[in-house]
Structure 1
Amino acid sequence: MSTDWMSRARCAAEDIEAELFFPRTEANLRQVREAREVCLSCPVLALCREWALAEPPSLDGIWGGLTHTERRRCRRQEARTAAQAA
């Protein structure tokens, strides 16, 4: 998948600290919430989420508005749905 969209991402703006998207733990709810607020106003949110779900499960940080744990949960749900459809 192309990553051309990354330059148009809201998080790429100069006034956004990259560290916001990499909380030390997912338990830092304030930081996760603030990062999500940026994601929700992003013009490439869907592309970012699609890319993040296609990346290796070890990808850290908040991508597409989802934490590592949420992306893992989405992948498991997709796998269950695919298995049920087969």
Structure 2
Amino acid sequence: MTSTTRRTFAFADWTLRPDQDDDAPPLTYAFRCLTLTEDDSECPAKSPPSEDPTEPQTWAFDHMREHPEHTGYAEVIERPWVMWRGGPS
């Protein structure tokens, strides 16, 4: 005898949005050096993350003072996001 299993599925809409709740992780900023080294790899130097966007900028100026040929940088912004469940579709 063959057994049949019945299943019920519930569908829900999900939305991805920036997490702005009170307990959300903070938005952080950093800079990393993009200058290529002698072996054509990227310089591994990166500022520490900070909630203050000016601190990584200061790091970039300090890094360039130590390495005058390192003039290319990328800003790294970490913004927390959260999935938000809506009602049934």
The TM-score normalised by the length of structure 2 is 0.26
Identify, as 1 or 2, the structure richer in helix: 1
For the pair shown, which has the larger CA radius of gyration, 1 or 2? 2
Highest relative contact order (Cα 8 Å, sep 6+), 1 or 2? 2
Length-normalised TM-score, structure 1: 0.27
- Larger % of strand: which? 2
